[in-house]
Amino acid sequence: MEQDSPVDIQRSLPFLAAFIILFMLVLFTRLWFLQVVKGDYYYDLAENNRIRPVKIRPPRGIIYDRYGRPIVENVLAFDISIVPEDTPDMAATIRKLTSLLKVDAGSIRTALDDAAETRTKYEPVKIQEEAPWEKVAIVEAHQDELPGVIVEPEHRRHYPYGGLGSHQLGYIGKVTQTQRKQDQADLSLLIGQGGIEKTFDKFLRGASGRRMIQVNAAGAKVKDLGIEDPKPGMDLYLTIDLDAQRAAEEALGDRAGAVVAMDPNSGEVLTLVSHPNFDPNLFPRGISPKDWVRLANDPSHPLYNRAIQSVYPPGSTFKVIVSLAGLDTGVIKLDDKVTCAGSIKSGKHTFRCWKREGHGTLSFHRGLVESCDVYFYTIGERIGFDRIARYAQNLGLGTVTGIKLPDEKPGFIPTPAWKQDRLHEPWYTGDTYINSIGQGSLQVSPIQACQLIGAVANGGVIYRPNLILQTRNRETGTVKQTSPERKGRVTIDPAALEELRKALIGVVSEPGGTGHGAQTPIATVAGKTGTAQVIAQKDTHKKLSGATQDHAWFIAYAPVENPRIAVAVLVEHGGHGGGAAAPIARRVIEEYMKNVGSKMVH
């Protein structure tokens, strides 16, 4: 019992009690001082101390091309806004605004009503965006008569080249409901809604700052109290060469189609064109309903990124894969001859060569140079389509390339097993025939075609297409380089590759080659034309034009000795690849090779 006696502890309890009482007295005295002695002072402070945090939106990151030329910028603009909580008499303020600024009272009310749903307290409502400086001056001069009306400086997104590269650059717009839930984006910010603006939004966005302003009891601004600077977004240096991009856009002109160029040694995307394009400048302030309807309902689908979202039969460009498969497996012997009489029969069906009168007897080299269909029907049958499909898959067809742009399509490589499973039909020799010349069920996007010819150029490496050369933190100046990302490597017999390259050079430069349009004095070009049929072969006796005309393909790389650029061109309904697509590739190659080795200008 003695051991457990609490007596000694209980002796010190009065001290604890005294300490508590003393401290409570201190707190109460302090309360008395604040609330009674200085109560009026603090009451006035609370009444007049109307400090408003005004959000300062961050400037979005600037986007440059690979040589440091700006392709997406910000332009400073001034918006006139109204803070309803600071506007004691809204009707009077609106009257004053209409007379001073000559704006429509109805539009102000509509803006206020629209904003009422989502805005937080004291968040300004924009009533005139990009106000001319005279109006800004009027508002500043009449602050006393316009309580709650403020001028907000804004960084407006500007695309100086209009539609140039619009599909890769993308556009910005208001935060959507789902985006708000997903990443709690700041509702008042415009964020990327397409292209690089969307996929790299986290880099470009930055973070808001705030300005503290003191307003009087009537809501008019008394003074600025301080600024917490916004964090600007990161600048992006794209892999794009502005000159090559522009050359490709001009060469494609009004025709619908796509041009993709990449550095075969790294996967850096040098140009990425999809036509028709759109003007991203329409979006940043909220696109007008009229413009939106026009864009969305346009039968030529200008919002669609054909370079990565459209898939087409590869046509004769697929012969590159059949050739690789044939040479690498040893099925194609260099001096084996095939005789083309203009067509070949399988069962009841006749399969024609594009050259009605036939190519006569030819071996692999001339077979590819002249793109003889009968030669590839025969070779395709000897290799077997299963093996061809495997080479196609290993070279990246049938799966997305992984380029960091929204909604890429994987395309399709048919196989006998697929046909049995899905269509419950056997794979006929005829299927091998038509797929061996790139028709049938094959579907390839322009960027896949570019990746494929790039792999031929670099000896079999598949790179993930890369859009970003480096990022730069504008505050610290820190630059971060990206590095090439290898997706896979196909081992191909170097001798086979060499034979294929010789034939591809022949396509462009030998007599009878189909790709002469790509010849250029500045570099040796290796390439392959393709013509993707839009409608079935049996109807080809009709005169084709417009929407029923074939799609033109051309894939190429240059210079052969030291490849720097791989290009894929697709012209929708362009007719023959050699005529419509090859000259576009030439323009891009020439333009890009001019700049190679140039330094970046900061």
What is the closest distance, in whole angstroms, from the C-beta atom of residue 78 to another protein in the complex? 24
Taking CB under 8 A as the criterion, the residue among 20, 75, 105, 137 binding another protein is 20
Stretch that binds another protein, among 47-55, 244-252, 305-313, 462-470 (CB under 8 A): 47-55
The dihedral built from the CA positions of residue 599, 160, 200 and 62, taken in this order, carries a sign that is: positive
Nearer to another protein, 56 or 164 (CB): 56
38 binds another protein (CB under 8 A): yes
Nearer to another protein, 184 or 491 (CB): 184
Q: How far is CA 477 from the centre of its chain?
A: 25
Contact 371, 554 (CB under 8 A): no
- Please report how many Cα atoms fall inside a 13 Å half-sphere around the Cα of residue 555, on the Cβ side: 27
What is the closest distance, in whole angstroms, from the C-beta atom of residue 8 to another protein in the complex? 5
Nearer to another protein, 15 or 133 (CB): 15
The answer for residues whose C-beta is within 8 angstroms of residue 368's C-beta and 6 or more apart is 319, 323, 375, 500, 503, 504, 506, 507, 528
Q: Would you give the DSSP letter of residue 161? A: T
23 binds another protein (CB under 8 A): yes
495 binds another protein (CB under 8 A): no
34 binds another protein (CB under 8 A): yes
State the catalytic residue, choosing from 274, 316, 371, 445: 316
Stretch that binds another protein, among 33-41, 361-369, 492-500, 541-549 (CB under 8 A): 33-41
The answer for residues whose C-beta is within 8 angstroms of residue 72's C-beta and 6 or more apart is 62, 63, 157, 158, 159, 169, 197
Nearest-5° angle of CA 13, CA 16, CA 20?
A: 140
What is the closest distance, in whole angstroms, from the C-beta atom of residue 312 to another protein in the complex? 49
What is the closest distance, in whole angstroms, from the C-beta atom of residue 224 to another protein in the complex? 10
Nearer to another protein, 17 or 91 (CB): 17
| Among the listed residues 523, 540, 538, 539, the one whose alpha carbon sits nearest the alpha carbon of residue 457 | 523
Count of residues that interact with another protein, criterion CB under 8 A = 43
| Among the listed residues 208, 184, 217, 249, the one whose alpha carbon sits nearest the alpha carbon of residue 44 | 217
Taking CB under 8 A as the criterion, the residue among 6, 347, 477, 597 binding another protein is 6
Structure tokens at 583: 């000259």
Q: Is 28 exposed, middle or buried (0-12, 13-18, 19+ CB in 10 A)?
A: exposed
386 binds another protein (CB under 8 A): no
How far apart, in whole angstroms, are the C-alpha atoms of residue 372 and residue 316? 9
What is the closest distance, in whole angstroms, from the C-beta atom of residue 186 to another protein in the complex? 17
- The region, left, alpha or beta by phi > 0 then psi within -120 to 50, assigned to residue 446 is alpha
What is the closest distance, in whole angstroms, from the C-beta atom of residue 307 to another protein in the complex? 41
How far apart, in whole angstroms, are the C-alpha atoms of residue 77 and residue 158? 11
x/- binding map, residues 158-187, to another protein, per CB under 8 A?
Answer: ------------------------------
What is the closest distance, in whole angstroms, from the C-beta atom of residue 44 to another protein in the complex? 8
Nearer to another protein, 10 or 300 (CB): 10
The answer for residues whose C-beta is within 8 angstroms of residue 66's C-beta and 6 or more apart is 237, 238, 239, 240, 241, 268, 270, 469, 600
The phi and psi torsions of 519 (rounded to 5 degrees) equal: -65, 140
Q: Please report, as residue ranges, which positions from 103 to 122 form the binding site for another protein (by CB under 8 A).
A: 121
The answer for residues whose C-beta is within 8 angstroms of residue 116's C-beta and 6 or more apart is none
Nearer to another protein, 118 or 350 (CB): 118
x/- binding map, residues 121-160, to another protein, per CB under 8 A?
Answer: x---------------------------------------
51 binds another protein (CB under 8 A): yes
Stretch that binds another protein, among 13-21, 137-145, 332-340, 346-354 (CB under 8 A): 13-21
Nearest-5° angle of CA 114, CA 118, CA 124?
A: 75
H/E element, 75:
strand 70-82
42 binds another protein (CB under 8 A): yes
What is the closest distance, in whole angstroms, from the C-beta atom of residue 55 to another protein in the complex? 14
How far apart, in whole angstroms, are the C-alpha atoms of residue 525 and residue 507? 9
Catalytic site residue 166?
no
Structure tokens at 239: 């892999």
What is the closest distance, in whole angstroms, from the C-beta atom of residue 127 to another protein in the complex? 22
What is the closest distance, in whole angstroms, from the C-beta atom of residue 128 to another protein in the complex? 26
Taking CB under 8 A as the criterion, the residue among 3, 178, 297, 300 binding another protein is 3
CB atoms within 10 A of CB 113: 10
Nearer to another protein, 210 or 409 (CB): 210
Nearer to another protein, 27 or 479 (CB): 27
Stretch that binds another protein, among 45-53, 351-359, 436-444, 532-540 (CB under 8 A): 45-53
| Among the listed residues 168, 244, 238, the one whose alpha carbon sits nearest the alpha carbon of residue 586 | 244
Nearer to another protein, 18 or 522 (CB): 18
Amino acid at 493: D
Nearer to another protein, 26 or 522 (CB): 26
CB atoms within 10 A of CB 546: 6
Structure tokens at 408: 């890429």
Q: Please report, as residue ranges, which positions from 202 to 241 form the binding site for another protein (by CB under 8 A).
A: 212, 225-226, 228
The phi and psi torsions of 367 (rounded to 5 degrees) equal: -60, -40
The answer for residues whose C-beta is within 8 angstroms of residue 291's C-beta and 6 or more apart is 282
How far apart, in whole angstroms, are the C-alpha atoms of residue 172 and residue 362? 55
Nearer to another protein, 33 or 95 (CB): 33
Stretch that binds another protein, among 5-13, 409-417, 458-466, 550-558 (CB under 8 A): 5-13
45 binds another protein (CB under 8 A): yes
How far apart, in whole angstroms, are the C-alpha atoms of residue 388 and residue 437? 11
How far apart, in whole angstroms, are the C-alpha atoms of residue 492 and residue 452? 13
Amino acid at 325: A
Stretch that binds another protein, among 46-54, 68-76, 284-292, 498-506 (CB under 8 A): 46-54
Which sequence positions are flagged as catalytic? Answer: 316
Question: Where along the sequence are the contacts to another protein (CB under 8 A)?
Answer: 3-6, 8-10, 12-13, 15-17, 19-21, 23-24, 26-28, 30-32, 34-36, 38-43, 45-47, 49-51, 121, 212, 225-226, 228
